[in-house]
Copies of this chain bind each other. A is one copy, B any other.
Amino acid sequence: MDIKNEVERQFNILKRGCEEIINEAELKLRLEKSLKENKPLKIKLGIDPTGTDLHIGHAVPLRKLKQFQELGHTVQFLIGTFTARIGDPTGKSETRKMLTPEDIQKNIATYLEQVFLILDSEKTEILYNADWLEKLSLQDFLGLLSQFTVAQMISREDFAKRLAENKPVSLVEFMYPILQGYDSVAMKCDIELGATEQKFNILKGRDLQKNFGMDPQICMLLPILEGLDGVEKMSKSLNNYISITDTPNDMFGKIMSISDDLMFRYYEIITDIPLEEIAQLKADMENGTLHPMEIKKRLGSEVVAIYHNKEEGLKAREWFENVFSKKNLDVELPEVELEYTETGVIDILVKHLNLLSSTSEARRLIQQGGLKINDEPVKDINHMVTPEAGMIIRAGKKKIVKVK
């Protein structure tokens, strides 16, 4: 094997989709060393077990880890069992609550179940930071603190912002970057992955490793994925997300609802389609050779293929085309349960089916003619309807359900 070529090959695979690598030269050297000594690199990704449903935004670093696994490196998946008791404010505007041990246990199980839909469980090391942080004495901890100044901590963007706004920053939150950094010392990892907002914390780990006489870890920052709205960060609470366990039809339908701009960003960040191919798709769209809808459908099938398989990706496309393009409702539709009693349409949309998130949104949709019951537009916001088996309810272009 030509080591130099192999370094370049691995580097190019790994670099794809990274927002920043600190730094690239070190990464190449580390890859080279790994190949020469035939010793896999240790790649850290830390998470706090906070009871998350993984969405394709969370999957971005997980899929990067998967690449490392496929290249033969060792993934160290770190679960912050100790730090979870503290609460990290990174990217949050408020102090988080500490979790109970029971919450933590339950969350870990749910989390790992989902993680192993992406990572190879056989090849993944699971580590828990309580294993070393519980043993750290107060004096040793103070020794770590003495290596950093208050000004350095305050320089972290979210801390600075909250302090400037006179919002409370608990002293304990100040400790988080140090604890996270010490994890890297204990794990002797070569690379730490994280979202861009993790830059400060990951660099603290670099500093601490240096002070402990180790080669400092390489910091690999991945973008934070925008939600379906194209504006906010993807999150469950904003209901702008694609869960990695969504059904093929749901995933496909959600992809079809995004803007053309966001579509290309998704292509780049959440798929492995080569960048040249993506550029070509964009060019074809711009010169009119390809319709945006077609490019979006390909993305939809691609995403379904990642989390389910290729066949499901194609079937989801077919289903979507049947229902939304050919208006052929003679296909399998998501079934919902509704009581067969007369109910206001707004209540059905918002309260019972949760198809829309607010009454005002429902009112707007109805007035604009977006609600159809059995293909009949309903424009009266006070309309009452008695559900029955087989009734098809359609809210806007992409949401359609059939009453059981």
Contacts and interface: CB of A to CB of B under 8 A. Distances in A.
Interface of A: 82, 85-86, 98, 133-134, 136-139, 141-143, 145-146, 148-151, 153-154, 159, 163, 166, 168-175, 178
Contacts of A136: 138
Given A163-B151, A166-B151, A146 B134 contact: no
A145 B173 CA distance: 9
Contact of A163 (B134, B137, B150): B150
B133 A148 contact: no
The 7 A-B residue pairs with the shortest CB-CB distance, nearest first, are A145-B171, A145-B172, A146-B172, A150-B169, A149-B168, A148-B171, A142-B172
A139 B82 contact: yes
Nearest to A171: B145
Contact of A148 (B134, B153, B159, B170): B170
Nearest to A133: B138
A148 B172 CA distance: 8
A170 B149 contact: yes
A139 B85 contact: yes
Contacts of A149: 168-171
Specify which of A82, A136, A159, A171 lies most central, judged by the most chain B CB atoms within 10 Å of its CB: A171
A245 to B, nearest CB: 34
Nearest to A136: B138
Given A134-B138, A150-B171, 16 more contacts: A82-B139, A86-B142, A138-B138, A141-B141, A142-B175, A145-B170, A145-B172, A146-B171, A150-B153, A150-B169, A150-B170, A150-B173, A150-B174, A151-B168, A154-B163, A171-B178
